[in-house]
């Protein structure tokens, strides 16, 4: 940590019109950090010391508690100057509330030490023994601790916009001085801090999982390691790793039978246990023991605990209010949930972007639905796929049912296109509606700078796979016609008969949405469902990097 106080802060410490209230009495039987003695009246400081004099006096105080890193120095200067330097934490109950809030931060995966816990434990326990300067320092550190804790609950310790090249969710705004003023006026610091803690059910579930996995990690003995060397193990094959696989599954609660070292055949009962394990951990549920399954088997409870901590941080980045009616896409778990007034009314399987063409995290409101859509080829696909393929194969454009338009919107025939010229990169390529169109029968549009939307697909069988990061960034949705129907439920003129008529016509038809529905593309790899903690494969390999930053931070 850095040495903390610029010179103006030493002067600032002594500018209080009132000395921080002190408590008298015996501290020995008191809980650390919580004072119980009677408050004394504040005394007016009549003579202000110079910054130089205070600078000479404070090294001893600083050395006794270690280096202090103020996280909101500029904000502290502003708030106290507006108060004419009167103290805030004059009431014992307010100090107790803040101290308890800091202690409880661990329940949300935050570190109490990041909010000056050690210093406050020492100073509040011995408050009656502190001199005026030390009490002034305690006053400032209490305020800084409140600001830091409230800020981290509200929008996270890390700034995702600084981590990712593409990040489309605005940071949650917070008025820290206003929040503190509210807590002081209401005489309820706990309520003030709780007001910025995420309320989403996934966040609440992760807190339960955090408690569970802290205990599991604490009690875990050396886990059985399964060698990752060797071929995938398929049904009825023999492999020397089978006993270790059974032992590891037993440690994780998926295998109850006796383990015999000589039994090395991959038989039916073990296949069923492996499938259950694969299903819970978001692995292809095929019963084949491949590299991914073995790598997941070898993950420790400590690694899972770290994954939960990462996902709690993610949910502090996400919008506090997703809306009364919204669609949330969990990119990592390949699921879409339609939520109305807190109830999930529909869940759909999805396909998302590959690791090379990731589906971005962002939020936008649905504007319209397009039936029998055409597909305008995105720039990346146009540049990397379409133009090179068309340059090699003269029939490529007609086989794909593409239309070509120049910059003025004029339709071009393939014979008019010079595929080796730079002009072709500025042309628009559009695939017309039809059975080969990759958007299928419908797309749901919420205008955004990423050109991402929800859509149908003619490749329905791909939804049966567990790993479905196979698109170019947009989100393919299983049974998306049913989802579109729900979005039009407030427009009775678009009943099933009318929609069938539109689809049968083959004509591209756009219908404006009159309900307010936001779509949130989010990414989380751990959650608690029906009392059980589930994990998804970190398909974009983000968890480890976030945990490393959290640990360093």
Active site members: 455, 474
Longest dimension (CA), the chain: 95
Residue 449, H or E segment = none
Q: Which residues contact 479 (CB under 8 A, 6 or more apart)?
A: 348
**Gap between the Cα atoms of 259 and 24, Å rounded:** 66
**Gap between the Cα atoms of 298 and 442, Å rounded:** 42
The CA–CA distances, whole Å, from 545 to 19, 56, 334, 540, 551 equal: 46, 43, 21, 11, 10
Let me know: does 21 contact 42? Beta carbons within 8 Å: yes
- For residue 446, the SS3 value is coil
263 alpha-carbon distance from chain centroid: 44
Residue (of 259, 302, 299) closest to 280 by Cα position: 299
The CA–CA distances, whole Å, from 236 to 242, 255, 315 equal: 11, 18, 43
- For residue 177, the SS3 value is helix
**Gap between the Cα atoms of 423 and 406, Å rounded:** 9
Residue (of 146, 291, 317) closest to 230 by Cα position: 291
Let me know: does 470 contact 462? Beta carbons within 8 Å: yes
How many separate helices (H) and strands (E) can be counted in the chain?
20, 17
**Gap between the Cα atoms of 511 and 454, Å rounded:** 15
Cα-Cα-Cα-Cα dihedral sign, residues 157, 313, 159, 152 = negative
Let me know: does 448 contact 519? Beta carbons within 8 Å: no
**Gap between the Cα atoms of 132 and 19, Å rounded:** 6
Residue (of 359, 374, 528, 384) closest to 438 by Cα position: 374
Let me know: does 348 contact 336? Beta carbons within 8 Å: yes
The DSSP code sequence of 80-122 is HHHTTT--S--SHHHHHHHHHHHHHGGGGT--GGGGTHHHHHH
Per the listing, tokens 């019963």 go with 287
Residue 30, H or E segment = none
């Amino acid at each position: 940590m850095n040495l903390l106080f610029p010179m103006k802060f030493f002067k600032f410490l002594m500018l209080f019109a009132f000395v921080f209230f002190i408590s008298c009495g015996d501290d020995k039987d008191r809980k650390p950090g919580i004072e119980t003695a009677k408050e004394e009246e504040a005394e007016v400081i009549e003579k202000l010391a110079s910054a130089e004099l205070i600078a000479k006096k404070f090294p001893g105080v600083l050395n006794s508690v270690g280096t202090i890193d103020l996280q909101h120095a500029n904000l502290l200067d502003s708030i106290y100057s507006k108060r004419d330097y009167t103290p805030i934490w004059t009431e014992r109950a307010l100090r107790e509330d803040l101290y308890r809030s800091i202690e409880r931060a661990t329940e949300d995966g935050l570190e109490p030490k990041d909010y000056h816990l050690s210093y406050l434990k020492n100073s509040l326990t011995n408050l009656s023994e502190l001199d005026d300067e030390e009490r002034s320092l305690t006053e400032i550190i209490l305020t800084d601790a409140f600001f830091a804790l409230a800020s981290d609950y509200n929008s996270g310790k890390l700034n995702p916009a600084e981590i990712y090249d593409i990040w489309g969710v605005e940071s949650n705004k917070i008025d820290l001085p206003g929040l503190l003023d509210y807590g002081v006026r209401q005489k309820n610091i706990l309520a003030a801090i709780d007001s910025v803690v995420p309320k989403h059910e996934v966040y609440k579930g992760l807190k339960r999982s955090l408690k569970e996995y802290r205990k599991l990690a604490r009690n875990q003995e050396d886990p059985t390691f399964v060698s990752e060397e060797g071929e995938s193990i398929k049904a009825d094959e023999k492999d020397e790793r089978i006993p270790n696989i059974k032992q590891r599954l037993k440690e994780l609660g998926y295998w109850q039978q006796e383990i015999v070292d000589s039994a090395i055949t991959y038989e039916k009962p073990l296949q069923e246990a492996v499938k259950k394990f694969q299903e819970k951990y978001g692995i292809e549920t095929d019963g084949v023991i491949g590299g991914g399954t073995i790598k997941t088997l070898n993950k420790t409870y400590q690694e899972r605990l770290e994954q939960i901590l990462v996902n709690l941080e993610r949910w502090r980045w996400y919008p506090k209010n997703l809306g009364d009616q919204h669609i949330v896409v969990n990119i990592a778990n390949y699921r879409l949930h339609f939520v109305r007034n807190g109830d999930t009314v529909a869940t759909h399987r999805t396909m998302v972007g590959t690791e090379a063409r990731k589906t971005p995290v962002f939020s936008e409101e649905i504007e319209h639905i397009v039936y029998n859509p055409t597909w305008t080829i995105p720039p990346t696909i146009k540049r990397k796929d379409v133009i090179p393929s068309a340059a090699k194969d003269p029939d490529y454009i007609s086989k794909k049912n593409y239309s070509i338009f120049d910059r003025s919107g004029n339709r071009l025939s393939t014979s008019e296109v010079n595929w080796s010229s730079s002009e072709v990169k500025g042309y628009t390529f559009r695939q017309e509606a039809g059975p080969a169109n990759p958007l299928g029968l419908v797309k749901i549009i919420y205008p955004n700078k990423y050109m991402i939307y929800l859509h149908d697909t003619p490749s329905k069988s791909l939804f049966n796979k567990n790993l479905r990061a196979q698109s170019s960034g947009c989100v393919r949705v299983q049974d998306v016609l049913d989802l579109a129907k729900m979005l039009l439920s407030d427009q009775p003129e678009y009943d099933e008969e009318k929609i069938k008529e539109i689809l049968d016509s083959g004509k591209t038809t756009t219908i404006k949405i009159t309900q307010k529905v936001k779509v949130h593309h989010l990414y989380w790899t751990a959650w608690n469902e029906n009392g059980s903690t589930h994990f998804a494969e970190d398909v974009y390999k983000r968890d480890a990097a976030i945990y490393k930053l959290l640990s360093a931070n």
